[in-house]
Structure 1
Amino acid sequence: MSENDNLQEADGKKEVESQETTPTQETTTEVEAKTETEVEQDVNTQSEEVVHTEETVETNSETEQVEAEEKPEAENTSEDHVDEIEASNAEDAEDESNAERHELEDKDYHAMTMDQLVTEFNKLLKHHKIQTISKHVNEIKGEFNAKFSELLDEKKEEFVADGGNEIDFYYTNDQKKLFNSLYKEYKQSINAYYKDREQNLKQNLENRLAIIEEIKGLLTVEENMGTTYKTFKELQEKWRNAGPIPRDKYNNAWNTYHHHVERFYDFLHLNNDLRDMDFKHNYDQKLKIIERAEELAKDENTNRSFRELQVLHKLWKEELGPVGKEHREEIWERFSKATKTIHDKRQAYYADMDKAHEKNLERKEEIIAQINAVNEDSANSHSAWQKKIKTIEKLREDFFNAGKVPIKVNEATWTKFKDAVRTFNRSKNHFYKDLKKDQYENLKKKKELIKIAEDNKDSEDFKTVTPLMKKIQSDWKKIGHVPRRDSDKIWKQFKAACNHYFDRMHKERKAKDQHLYDAFDKKVKLLDDLKALELTDDPKADIKTLQDKISEWKDIGYVPQNKRYIDGKFYKAIDDAFDKLKMDKSKLEMIKFDSKLENLANPDDTRLLDNEQNFIRKKISEVQGEITQLENNLQFFSNVDSDNPLVKDVHKNIANHKKQLDTWKAKLTKVRGKYS
């Protein structure tokens, strides 16, 4: 078993089963790798060992003083909109790549197939820093495992339905192997990153605490104030460049820093010019920050405005120092107000998103109901089940494309969906299990027909065996489907045996009836000659020529049964030739009829003549009826002059019909003469 297969066994076979509780629950066990949360906890624990320096430097009363003096009263009041920003910035303080994390596009992983999820995972690993993709990786992992779990259930059902023992079931595929490989690569990289970052965070915290100590030490330095101020500025620059620290130490470290910065400015009262210059600079910059925050409060893109607001708060806290006491409360309240506006719009945005999730839930409930309706519909044929399978596949696709649902019902909705699909798969597998039994019975029957065909394929008793071979061919069509893997093989075997027999039979018959095939060849040549015949201007001579052709054709004799179509072609060519003659149409009609009778006459079989005689009698009856009707119509014109155009037209029509009647009677006489 390969390394990927081992991963599959640990990550797929055992843990995917436990995943049924929720599609976003992590199921893959990575024994050798700590989770991101565990690493962060380790960092925080080890960082606490470092912060003892700070705790020894500051007394409890001093800490309380920091909390009281760092901000004015309004700024110290607990405000949700400010707390949210500070919490986000505290998280960012631990990872300077957080900005890139925010820029990653949010995608609907729920709607993606396993192939698409693996592709997205691979893109994240190749094109982004490892520490910026954890949120996306966790979403991809949850969705992939959920879909693989569903596939695993389906394959297990099929395995058991085919007679397998559940304890022997094992399944993996290329998608799962590739996903496991990518996830292993991710865990190794993220663990290496956190291990390295742990040391950096620890060292950065020590550096920042040392800077605070140096700022505190400036209050006791007896030297030129300009020199002290320059040293203070250098320490501030060092602080800005000191790098990220553990998030749980962020606010405490910054509050302590700001506290001692303000104490230094109080110490600077001996040189108000330097202090006032800094206060003015900070005031001007904070006004610009406020103005930008107020602009962001009007932006409809809440996520974008919130991310930029984080940056503004970070600048306010990390880059700028205090302002004059007379301005502190005023500018903070203004900044806080803009922050609250953005916060409220963001909360409204999430409320709208919750409503959208509720609509998604309704849609998913409808889809589940439709799947259950399909489950209740009975189907007893392969075609009906194939139609149901396509319907369920479409509903599954619709379910994943319907979007996210509220977190509180996510697990329950997923469970109901899986149960509905599982019920369908069980019914489907049960049907095809029974169908396979029937197919194996059909296979047995068709193999029996193959044996009959092969036992008789070399028989010389054509009279007896031919009906038998035709019967088993008919029986074959009635038996029905066999297992797909056997279908082509047994059909080729059966077809080969039947073809072998009938090829022998046809060859035998052709040899026996060679004179018929020779006659056919002669008739083909005679037909070609007739089509190439050029008539003269002498109708009598042309009639004689055509009659000779008819006699020659008849003298050639019979052709094989399947070649008798050539007679129809010949007499059609004869009729076409007669039509080209320049003579009275009624005489021509009788001459053509004579040629037709030559074809119909057969002393051994009078059926064709009988049919022709019945046809002519019918036509005689029809023409007589039409004449009678026309003569009755004349009675309506008893008082009309005989020169009336309408009356003349009726008399002309009667004359034409009587002429047709004479022709048909003459034909009947000729047909009767052929019986003698």
Structure 2
Amino acid sequence: MSENDNLLKADGKNEVEKEVSTPKEETTPEVENKTEVTPESEAETKAETESESTKETTSEKTAEAETEVESETETESETETESETETSKNDQHVDEIEAENAEDAEDESNVERHEVEEKDYHAMSMQDLATELNRLLKHHKIQTISKQVNQIKSEFNAKFSELLDQKKEEFIEEGGNEIDFYYTNDTKKLFNQLYKDYKQSISSYYKEREQNLKQNLENRLAIIEEIKGLLSVEENMGTTYKTFKELQDKWRNAGPIPRDKYNNAWNTYHHHVERFYDFLHLNNDLRDMDFKHNYEQKLKIIEQAEELAKDDNVNRSFRELQVLHKLWKEELGPVAKEHREEIWERFSKATKTIHDKRQAYYADLDKAYEKNLEKKENIISQIQAIAEDKASSHGAWQKKIKEIEALREAFFNAGKVPLKVNEATWAKFKDAVRTFNRGKNKFYKELKKDQYENLKKKKDLIKIAEDNKDSEDFKTVTPLMKKIQADWKKIGHVPRRDSDKIWKQFKAACNHYFDRMHAERKAENQHLYDAFDKKVKLLDELKAMELSGDNKADVETLKTKIADWKAIGHVPQNKRYIDGKFYKAIDEAFDKLKMDKSKLEMVKFESKLENLASNDNDTRLLDNEQNFIRKKISEVKSEINQLENNLQFFSNVESDNPLVKDVHKNIDRHKKELDTWKAKLSKLKGMYS
């Protein structure tokens, strides 16, 4: 194996002709591959391809330079044959790093792009997605957010597509023609404007970068030519070596180049660097000093890689490992031949450890995606079950709508599923929701039909009310107005937008009629309202009155109050409750008198009879009172008989026995009570005459 071949292997700089299939750092399989297919405008589709076309232009415009690099490589084909054989021995874990770094060749800010936070866009609402896109545009460089923007765009379009399908079905259900359907909202307009701003900014960025990449490539090719020229310079070796180191510094600071030129340019550069070191055999001290420096620096890189292999954050360790490989390849030259195999194997071993941990991480991620799929399948089944259960009332449908909304939110929060079933799962979900919406729309369409019929009925009642609101025929129209009010209550719901309007219209017509009727009746019965005012005043006087302590005088005063009350006369029908209040106050006043209980009872009873007799000579109240008194007389007699019968059990007991004395006492009390009830009955009979 030649020294050149060993150098190529030791540096780990092998041309990678095709991308590896391992997912990129911080990129999940679902995001990495194609996103959900959603309707987009022609303008959006065109904008999305602008950045890619810009990249392709860079490659085309540097074709001539590439030819020069490749021809130079071909000249060294014999030397590289053995190197290619050694390259094929490199494991996939090295190829993966090489592929990532080659992809990053065009943009030195790629490390920053990796640091842009990725969120669970699937769980966000359309408004939240628009807000997140706006945040990215304001707080990050435009070239660092393409992956996040594409994910946000995919999720937004998917959610808006679902909403669009729902609105379209509702439009058609309501009788609209499909070709006339159009729908958008403020959130969609905002998102479209933000995405347009992004496309314009990224397009400007790629146009500017295209020129920079082309110029950087030309500068690097010129540096290679200068290094080649050093081999034919006949001057002091120290001066030549100093020039060589200056050219190396210029190379390191020459900036990014097109990714498709990256490996060829670096391999050609290292090939001529290696030739220069062979040329230095005339001055081994300089070469050995460089070899020693490179060896020390590469050992530090290896130690850092071994530390990264212990880190459980696989994405972070992979990012930093990329940087280490970039330093190994781009910043450091070869080491002495005896160390090359050893240090490369050690560096490769640490790289493989990180690679294997990362592969295990994605394997676990796949398992998590499978669990998410189970959750989403279960949610879809629940939505399908709710859709099949047909409700028959507005309340039941409202409950189902809330359940569906909760399930939709749970679906979006369930996380990502394996990419291979992503579109099918999404389609199944949308189909289940669409089936539910069709059932809901059908119910509310029928409900609206009934509501419009109810609206017509209520409008007919409004016309009757308005036609009669100024009528003077109160006797005829009042029953009619009461009937249409009752009919109104029996009619069901009307469309919400009409409900308040027609109710106010109907209520205004009815109130107008009844206010007129009440005003006229009040005028006809003004004397009744005057009587009511007088009774209110008299009642207040009674409540404020203080008794003199002379029972006879106080009784006469209370009787005078009763007579004055009767003299005032009748009050309106709806005000007659005041009579009850007055006689209640009279009873309370009588209770304050210190009189014999039986006499007091009779005075209060006479007051009660006065009240009964004042009710339009309605004898029914007197009849009811007479029946009540007769019933009480019968009950008291029965009690007396029972007590007298009980005395027979005490025939052999002395009359001064406490039990006997108590029975006689009860008998006497009931007889007095009986006399009072008989007196009340006699008084009542006198009222009939």
TM-score computed with the length of structure 2 as normaliser:
0.88
CA–CA distance in structure 2, aligned partners of residues 217 and 364 of structure 1? 66
Residue pair 1:68, 1:76 contacting (<8 A) in 2 also: no
> Where do 1:243-254 residues align within 5 Å?
243-254=255-266
Question: Shift of residue 489 of structure 1?
Answer: 2.3
Q: CA deviation at 1:667?
A: 4.1
Superposed displacement of residue 414, structure 1: 0.8
1:10-29 aligned within 5 A: 23=36, 27-29=40-42
> Are 1:308 and 2:323 an aligned pair?
no
- Take 1:571 and 1:296, find their aligned partners in 2: how far apart are those partners? 100
Give the structure 2 partner of residue 604 of structure 1: 617
**Within 5 Å, which residues of 2 pair with 1:281-320?**
281-320=293-332
Is the contact made by 1:22 and 1:414 (CA closer than 8 Å) also made in structure 2?
no
Contact 1:124 1:133 in 2 (8 A): yes
1:314 Cα deviation after fit: 1.4
Shift in alpha-carbon separation, 1:22–1:276, aligned structure 2, 3 A: closer
Q: Deviations over 1:242-301 (max 9, x none)?
A: 111112222222222223223322322332222222222222222222222222222222
Moved more, 462-471 or 33-42: 33-42
CA drift at 1:394:
2.0
Q: Deviations 1:122-180 (Å, cap 9, x if unpaired)?
A: 11111111111111111111111111111111111111111111111111111111111
Query: 1:371 aligns to what?
Result: 383
1:598 is paired with a residue whose SS is helix
Conserved 8 A contact 1:66-1:259: no
In the alignment, what sits opposite 1:65?
Answer: 79
Distance 1:462 1:197 in 2: 92
Change in 2 beyond 3 A, CA 1:588/1:335: farther
Q: Does 1:520 align with 2:532?
A: yes
Query: In 1, Cα distance between the equivalents of 2:311 and 2:459?
Result: 77
Name the aligned partner's letter for residue 38 of structure 1: S
Q: What amino acid maps onto 1:29 in structure 2?
A: E
> Which of 53, 68, 71 is matched with 2:68 structurally?
53
Q: Which residue of 2 aligns with 1:11?
A: none
For structure 1, which segment, 538-547 or 174-183, has the greater mean C-alpha deviation from structure 2 after superposition?
538-547
SS at match of 1:164: coil
* Contact 1:225-1:271 within 8 A present in 2 as well: yes
Q: Alignment partner for residue 382 of structure 1, among 376, 390, 394?
A: 394
- SS of the equivalent of 1:582 reads coil
Give 1:510 deviation, angstroms: 0.6
> Is contact 1:50-1:202 (8 Å) kept?
no
CA shift, 1:590, in A, is: 3.5
Q: Indicate if the aligned counterparts of 1:109 and 1:143 stay in contact, CA closer than 8 A.
A: yes
Contact 1:539 1:583 in 2 (8 A): yes
Number of residue equivalences? 653
Q: Distance in 2 between matches of 1:536 and 1:426?
A: 85
Say what the alpha-carbon RMSD is for the aligned residues: 2.8
Measure, in 2, the Cα distance between the counterparts of 1:560 and 1:106: 80
* Whole-Å separation in 1 of the counterparts to 2:250 and 2:674: 127
Q: Contact 2:38/2:161 (CA < 8 Å) preserved in 1?
A: no
Partner amino acid, structure 1, of 2:440: K
The residue identity in structure 2 corresponding to 1:674 is M
Please, which of 89, 113, 136 is the counterpart of residue 124 of structure 1?
Answer: 136
Residues 25 and 463 (structure 1), Cα distance of their counterparts in 2 relative to 1, 3 Å cut: closer
Residue 89 to residue 520, structure 1, CA distance change in 2 (3 Å): same
Q: Which runs of 5+ in 2 are unaligned?
A: 1-33
1:51-95 deviation digits (Å, cap 9, x = unpaired): 1221232325x256347559x95x762322222222221222211
Residue 564 of structure 2 corresponds to which residue in structure 1? 552
> Which of 434, 440, 453 is equivalent to 2:465?
453
Partner of 2:30: none
CA distance in 2, matches of 1:325, 1:77: 19
* Residue-by-residue CA offset, 1:512-563 (whole Å, 9 max, x unaligned): 1111101111011111111221222222222222221122112212211221
- Cα shift readout 1:319-341 (whole Å, capped 9, x = no counterpart): 22222222222222222222222
1:439 paired residue among 433, 451, 459: 451
**Equivalent in the alignment of 2:156:** 144
State the 1:569 CA deviation.
2.1
Q: Do structure 1's residue 323 and structure 2's residue 335 form an aligned pair?
A: yes
Counterpart among 398, 411, 416 of residue 428 in structure 2: 416
1:575 deviates by 2.6
Displacement, 1:302? 1.6
**SS class of match (1:581):** coil
Q: Map of 1:496-645 to 2, 5 A cutoff?
A: 496-601=508-613, 602=615, 604-617=617-630
Question: 1:347 aligns to what?
Answer: 359
Aligned to 1:14: none
> How far apart are the structure 2 equivalents of 1:158 and 1:264?
76
What residue identity is the alignment partner of 1:102? Answer: H
State the one-letter code of the partner of 1:675. Answer: Y
CA contact (8 A) 1:44 1:246 kept: yes
With over 3 angstroms needed to count, the CA separation of the structure-2 counterparts of 1:498 and 1:242, relative to structure 1, is same
Task: Single out whichever of 346-355 and 497-506 deviates more from structure 2.
Answer: 346-355
| Distance across 2 between alignment mates of 1:284 and 1:133 | 37
Residue 404 (structure 1) shift = 1.3
Alignment check: 8 A CA contact 1:69 1:259 kept: no
TM-fit CA distance, 1:344: 1.7
Change (3 A) 1:438 1:273: same
Report the Cα offset of residue 641 of structure 1.
8.4
Task: Map residues 205-224 of structure 1 onto 2, 5 A cutoff.
Answer: 205-224=217-236
Identity of aligned residues (%): 80
Gap change, CA 1:282 and 1:652, over 3 Å in 2: farther
Which residue of structure 2 aligns with residue 157 of structure 1? 169
Q: Is 1:674 paired with 2:687? A: yes
Q: Are the equivalent residues in 2 in contact too, given 1:620–1:661 (CA < 8 A)? A: yes
TM-superposed CA distance for 1:488, in Å, is 2.3
Separation in structure 2 between the aligned mates of residue 344 and residue 26 of structure 1, nearest angstrom: 39
Contact 1:26 1:138 (C-alpha < 8 Å) held by counterparts: no
Partner SS for 1:51: helix
Q: 1:376 offset after TM fit, Å? A: 1.1
The TM-score normalised by the length of structure 1 is 0.90
8 Å CA contact retained: 2:73, 2:268: no
Q: Aligned with 1:403: secondary structure? A: coil
CA contact (8 A) 1:22 1:415 kept: no
Is the 8 Å Cα contact of residues 67 and 255 (structure 1) preserved in structure 2? no
| Secondary structure in 1 matching 2:494 | coil
1:465 paired residue number: 477
Q: Shift in Å at residue 644 of structure 1? A: 7.8
- Matched with 1:480 is 492
Q: What do the CA deviations read for 1:11-54 (whole angstroms, capped 9, x no partner)? A: xxxxxxxxxx9746573433663343333233233333321221
Query: How many Å separate the matches in 2 of 1:201 and 1:382?
Result: 65
- Distance in 2 (alpha carbons) for counterparts of 1:123 and 1:504: 66
Q: SS of 1:58's equivalent?
A: helix
- Give 1:354 shift: 1.6
What is the SS of the residue equivalent to 2:510? helix
CA distance in 2, matches of 1:157, 1:48: 53
- Paired letter, 1:275: R
- Within the candidate set 84, 107, 122, 1:95 is matched to 107
2:59 alignment counterpart: 44
Structure 1 residues 305 and 252: alpha-carbon distance in aligned structure 2, compared to 1, 3 A threshold: same
